[in-house]
Amino acid sequence: MSTRQTAPPPEQPGRLHPARLLVLGANGPTGRQVVRQALARGHRVQALTRHPETFPVRHDRLDVVAGDATAAGVLDAAVEASDAVVCTIGTAFTRRPVRVYSATADLLVQAMLRHRRRRLVTVTSAGLTPSHPPGGSTGSAPAGSGVGALVRTARHALDHDRVRDAFRAVMRHHVGRTVYDDMAAMEAVVRAGDLDWTIVRPPGLTDAPGRGYVAEETEVEGALCAREDLAAMLLDQLEDDRFVRKVAAVATPGLRVGALHMLWHEVLKR
Ligand SMILES: NC(=O)c1ccc[n+]([C@@H]2O[C@H](COP(=O)([O-])OP(=O)(O)OC[C@H]3O[C@@H](n4cnc5c(N)ncnc54)[C@H](OP(=O)(O)O)[C@@H]3O)[C@@H](O)[C@H]2O)c1
């Protein structure tokens, strides 16, 4: 177990290296990547999970903290013992009302203000705004015939802005409405807090190996993001103030995963 320290938080956003990092959602597929990469970068990590018995990482700079982020009092000591917070908490799509994002944000922002901790990097999702990325593709469909051409054409269609925007609109307003509504509520809470926050909006996440990310304010081209790349981007924010008090869109360029694979792994199986 690590020793909790009470050093005052740094004055400047960014340049937090090495940091005492609190990771919320640490036991999710992105959270695990964040924890592993943070340890590899030399940070000291507190990993919050409701299921510590299933958490796979052990390290002498890692504290696994058991608890529900939406329960009063759980975050307080963990926030006090940290310099920065990365939040990857998430839940599966459901028709029921969702509160985990906004309830976590409420308690987290309060705890950070109470303990004068400033740096918060949190994940929501692409699809919270209309999507018209700069330089979006509008080219013609791939040539050819047969099954190969059909697959190429389908992939091309899925890359197309309008198809992607229509897909996102269905996810935002129908399939995932309660989740997205609560993510929007989380964003409002985070923006209202007097913190050095960064809201990171990835598109569909995959467990494909990372290949380097692109990040821009608000919108970026790319329909997918490897969780490995998302984790790297989240941790990069501790050493970079480019997106402080901003919304950053992130994606892995050129990453392709079959639509059925995504539907099964990221929507139906969860
Ligand atoms: N999947 C996608 O395609 C996609 C697309 C865009 C954005 N996102 C967002 O990206 C982030 C990461 O997604 P992901 O798919 O890697 O992870 P995820 O499957 O959404 O899991 C996140 C983790 O949050 C933890 N959690 C949930 N409720 C909690 C609570 N009340 N207290 C403490 N921990 C709680 C869970 O761990 P425990 O059960 O161990 O506590 C869970 O493993 C999420 O914010 C997600 O909404 C996902």
> In this model, does residue 152 exceed pLDDT 60?
no
Q: What is the mean pLDDT of the chain?
A: 85
pLDDT at 267: 66
Between 16 and 251, where is the model more confident?
A: 251
Q: What is the DSSP letter of 13?
A: S
Atom of ligand 1 nearest to the CA of 28: 43
pLDDT band at 268 (very low <50, low <70, confident <90, very high): low
DSSP 124-167: --TTSS----TT----PPPP--HHHHHHHHHHHHHHSHHHHHHH
pLDDT at 142: 45
Between 125 and 265, where is the model more confident?
A: 125
CA of 106 to the centre of ligand 1 (A): 17
Distance CA 87, CA 206 (A): 18
CA of 183 to the centre of ligand 1 (A): 12
pLDDT at 140: 39
Ligand 1 pocket residues where CB is under 6 Å: 25, 27-31, 48-51, 68-70, 88-91, 100, 123, 125, 202, 204-205, 227, 266
> In this model, does residue 134 exceed pLDDT 50?
no
Distance CA 88, CA 29 (A): 9
Mutational pocket test of ligand 1: of 205, 224, 267, the residue with most ligand atoms within 8 Å of the beta carbon: 205
> In this model, does residue 109 exceed pLDDT 80?
yes
Mutational pocket test of ligand 1: of 50, 65, 89, the residue with most ligand atoms within 8 Å of the beta carbon: 89
Q: How many residues does this entry show for the chain?
A: 270
- Is the dihedral angle over the CA atoms 12, 126, 253, 265 positive or is it negative? positive
Distance CA 103, CA 98 (A): 9
pLDDT band at 14 (very low <50, low <70, confident <90, very high): low
Distances (CA, A) of 145 to 50, 141, 142, 148, 151: 51, 12, 10, 7, 10
CA of 133 to the centre of ligand 1 (A): 25
Mean pLDDT, rounded, for 136-147: 44
pLDDT at 5: 37
Domains in the chain, CATH or no CATH each: 20-135+176-268 (3.40.50.720)
> In this model, does residue 3 exceed pLDDT 70?
no
CA of 24 to the centre of ligand 1 (A): 9
Q: Which residue CA neighbors atom 5 of ligand 1 most closely?
A: 204
Range name among 41-45, 189-193, 233-237, 256-260 with the lowest pLDDT average = 256-260
Atom of ligand 1 nearest to the CA of 31: 16
pTM, entire model: 0.85
Q: Which residue CA neighbors atom 45 of ligand 1 most closely?
A: 90
Q: Which residue CA neighbors atom 16 of ligand 1 most closely?
A: 30
